[in-house]
Structure 1
């Protein structure tokens, strides 16, 4: 697509573009969900434990294991299970989840200076690089979550009779990872101008002005007319003479009444009324 000059594009307002707002909202939300999924000990739940009350269950995370009951709010954590923590998926999940949290913070720190909050135009390259880091952090979250879910029942269990259920950390991890992937991908799209610039919230001048601007008539050209003033007459206080008034009048004037004439052809004697 041919590059267009800067004068051909204008902003509808000084607000932050929508794709950057979308990414800057989803990224922190995803980070909070991933943080909860990382520290909470509920990646899976073991029920129907042998030699245990029916209401007792075990919650297993990537950092610790807790035992609890459905009738009591107290939780007994710091349980040891070397077989469970020795699985490769646990070690990979620990590293990737922590790395995902760190990369998300770095991506936000890079994207914030590029977002148009106090500038006339955003720095699309900086904001796009921050979006790329956020996208990668979401991928690092989805990998261990999906792997753990795939082998959920194959990780060391005490007995085949034990019922294994998915914990809420898996659900939060999926949602948080998807939030970061979507937010980072949308922010990264802003690096390239596509869709006629509308992906950045840009609109052509003609589209913003509308047909009213395009059909607007050009103002009439002003023509300087020479002055027609004439010198004042010395016999009158008006700035023109009687002769010039007769010349300049472009409408018919009323005729002045004729003077009464004296009939001199009458030969009789004058009457007394005539004297």
Structure 2
């Protein structure tokens, strides 16, 4: 039995979502701050959950490993670190489990194993969406040296990767019903084939032998009985005697 196409599609898009989440986690661009007081006007501050970088528009220089203890002490930063790391790990586990349940080296897909993998992938997407949405919601409230705050591309990548994994997990879980239905149809088809083959053998072989035997055995007996009956009737005919005067 072949792996359903929707599950193969999930096994393709989930790694893409994982790469987007990894980029969102590592890249220092959850928000961008411009027009900082006392700094050059072309300076932009890129803040992430692991690192902070400074870039200059005129020279295109990027300097990372900028320390900001007040920023990293925010509660959302620590929560986002843990949840994004957990999401990446759970995605790999769910993808491995789903691959074991649906790969072509098995004669039939293991629907329960594949459904467990889909559930793990769904949970990993939720783990990624929660910190990204929370950070996006309190983006202006996090302490900043300027009021010109813009959303970074990591927020967009985090949303996209998390939603991709949530949809992939739902598609895989919903595809398990089709897997079970296909297996049941295959079992019914095999059972009906066995029954029809058994019936055809009994119908063609056994009755034909009995009919031939009956014909062969009954034909000579019928001829002999017919001859005896004719002889018996001839013997019973009355003999007529005529007297002449």
Q: Which residue of 1 aligns with 2:110?
A: 123
Q: Which residue of 1 aligns with 2:140?
A: 153
Q: Which residue of 1 aligns with 2:154?
A: 169
1:178 and 1:52 mapped to 2: Cα distance? 38
1:204 and 1:33 mapped to 2: Cα distance? 39
1:175 and 1:200 mapped to 2: Cα distance? 32
2:43 and 2:181 mapped to 1: Cα distance? 54
Q: Which residue of 1 aligns with 2:164?
A: 179
2:183 and 2:9 mapped to 1: Cα distance? 16
2:108 and 2:22 mapped to 1: Cα distance? 33
1:145 and 1:15 mapped to 2: Cα distance? 38
- The TM-score normalised by the length of structure 1 is 0.65
Answer yes or no: is 1:83 the counterpart of 2:83.
Answer: no
Q: Which residue of 2 aligns with 1:242?
A: none
Size of the aligned set, in residue pairs, is 195
Deviation by residue 1:118-147 (Cα, 9 ceiling, x = unmatched)? 222100101110111111110000000000
Deviation by residue 1:142-196 (Cα, 9 ceiling, x = unmatched)? 000000000111101114xx310000000000000011111112112244x3xxx
Aligned pair partner of 1:58 in 31, 39, 45: 45
Between structure 1 and structure 2, the one with the greater Rg is 1
2:141 and 2:103 mapped to 1: Cα distance? 49
Aligned pair partner of 1:137 in 111, 120, 124: 124
1:200 and 1:23 mapped to 2: Cα distance? 19
Aligned pair partner of 1:105 in 75, 86, 92: 92
Answer yes or no: is 1:95 the counterpart of 2:82.
Answer: yes
Q: For the Cα contact (< 8 Å) 2:46–2:54, is it kept in 1?
A: yes
Q: For the Cα contact (< 8 Å) 1:17–1:200, is it kept in 2?
A: no
Q: For the Cα contact (< 8 Å) 2:43–2:54, is it kept in 1?
A: yes
Q: For the Cα contact (< 8 Å) 1:19–1:200, is it kept in 2?
A: no
Q: Which residue of 1 aligns with 2:5?
A: 18
Structure 1: which 5+ residue stretches go unaligned?
A: 1-13, 209-218, 228-275
Q: Deviating runs (4+, > 4 A) in structure 1?
A: 198-205, 221-227
Provide the secondary structure at the position in 2 that maps to 1:73: coil
CA shift in 2, pair 1:201/1:186, >3 Å:
farther
2:109 and 2:30 mapped to 1: Cα distance? 40
Which structure dedicates a bigger proportion of its chain to helix? 2
Aligned pair partner of 2:28 in 8, 19, 41: 41
1:169 and 1:128 mapped to 2: Cα distance? 30
Q: Which residue of 1 aligns with 2:56?
A: 69
Q: For the Cα contact (< 8 Å) 1:15–1:116, is it kept in 2?
A: no
CA shift in 2, pair 1:98/1:149, >3 Å:
same
